[in-house]
Structure 1
């Protein structure tokens, strides 16, 4: 049965019961869509991993992005993750790739020696700890990452939580540049993109908010039932709910041989 043929209660009940562990969004296929950044992060990641000797992937999530990269570092790849449900998933996804998973709660310091890795990567880090990134990079090493940009998807949280000032967050690309340079790194590249997000049924939104918990940190179906019903009616009337995500790609180098 098509999602749009089901009632509000059926859609939210289904989405409230489904497993949301890991970082695989395939459950949303056909129910939500998001434009991809133009730079092709996973492809570029593979190119850099293939040229690296020792590689560290920070906040790997369920390891889905790294698992999709065919190249491997010539020495070793280590990945960190701090959310317990993702540890088992990342081990399952990366074990056959020879990647070592290290539990790390994403609070400094990183559990590695100074000047260790010639490549450090991260896709959508919750927080980039620039001092630690610079510390574990070997001289001449590179940090390559796709970050979540400022006010990303603010249309979603404003629907549930009300208006929020924009343009003053810790996710500004200029702030990332400033912090990287303050910690001795040289910016090699910095690109930005605004990308359309579209949700086609209310179940997709419930799943999204249960999985991406920082949009509405106290989200439950029961607490926000009235807002969900209002959004469901909006989707039926307009065909979808539209928001805009923001991403930036940053590459920084540690000076040295």
Structure 2
């Protein structure tokens, strides 16, 4: 736990950079939310034999860069404009083409362009992913479910999050993929713990994951944040439950199977 007063913790959290998709500022101040599977290792295995692949909603490219060496032809898309520059700076030296993709249901690639699609916490446009995958191609996705960190909203007296949409869980996503013609190869869902050790970590998390509490600010939620700060001073932590699910799916047909 960081030993500091409420105002100092808030100021530090509000001054910390939030570009890209890097939770490094939270090291030692928050931990958890990781499910039992390793998305990183599953992604590395999928890419190992692929010649062409796509990473959807790559953020700042942090995770994808850590999977190098990458396939000979590798694309990454990003829907949030401020992240595109960070992703290009990190990924283009590795041979990755980074493309803006502001529309959630449109990928800027031709049909059948890739053998593997990676999607960690990105938008899951099932039919569009099926369009860019070759027959026999594989989708690996880890998604954030609609019950993710709902305890934060309750503790702050905030409305439930609206993104992901209500009832976004493994059954809903599986139905969308099978409806788009995919064959499901692996399906898992878990609710791992996420622990915050100081109020600054919680505030920074809400800045980075802005859809959890839309319109969040320390001023707007000041009384609730101060109550949580006092509680964490006594208990040393504040725990909530994340919501994660994993799907590995295949586009039927003859082709490469990573």
Bin for the TM-score computed over the shorter chain:
over 0.9
Offset at residue 106 of structure 1 (A): 3.6
Match of residue 185 from structure 2: 188
Following the alignment from structure 2 to structure 1, what is the Cα–Cα distance between the partners of residues 160 and 46?
A: 38
Which of 141, 153, 157 does residue 153 from structure 2 map onto? 157
Alignment: residue pair count: 252
Partner of 1:213: 210
SS in structure 1 at match of 2:131: helix
The answer on 1:198 being equivalent to 2:195 is: yes
Are 1:76 and 1:99, in contact at CA under 8 Å, matched by a contact in 2?
yes
- Structure 2 equivalent of residue 3 of structure 1: 2
**TM-score, normalising length from structure 2?**
0.93
Deviation at 1:20, TM superposition (A): 1.2
Q: CA deviation at 1:191?
A: 1.3
Q: State which of 26, 37, 56 in structure 1 corresponds to 2:54.
A: 56
1:176 aligned residue (152, 173, 178): 173
For the residues of structure 1 that align with 2:227 and 2:103, how far apart are their CA atoms? 37
Q: Which residue of 2 aligns with 1:146?
A: 142
**CA distances 1:45-93 after superposition (whole Å, capped 9, x unpaired):** 01111211110111000111101113311x3000000212211211122
Q: 2:28 aligns with which of 10, 27, 30?
A: 30
Instruction: Indicate yes or no: 2:93 matched with 1:96.
Output: yes
Q: Which residue, 118, 121, 125 being the options, matches 1:121?
A: 118
How far 1:44 sits from its partner (Å)?
1.2
Q: Which moved more, 1:195-204 or 1:86-95?
A: 86-95
Post-superposition CA distance 1:225-253 (Å, at most 9, x none): 11110110110121111001121110111
Structure 2: runs of 5 or more not aligned: none
Deviations 1:8-36 (A, max 9, x none): 11111111111111111111111111142
Cα deviation, residue 192, structure 1: 1.6
Contact preservation (8 Å) 1:46, 1:71? no
- Please tell me the root mean square deviation across aligned C-alpha atoms, in Å: 1.8
Indicate the residue corresponding to 1:41 in structure 2. 39
Scaled by the length of structure 1, the TM-score of the pair is 0.93
**2:130 maps to 1:134:** yes
Secondary structure, counterpart of 1:3 in structure 2: coil
Cα contact 1:16–1:207 (8 A) shared by 2 = yes
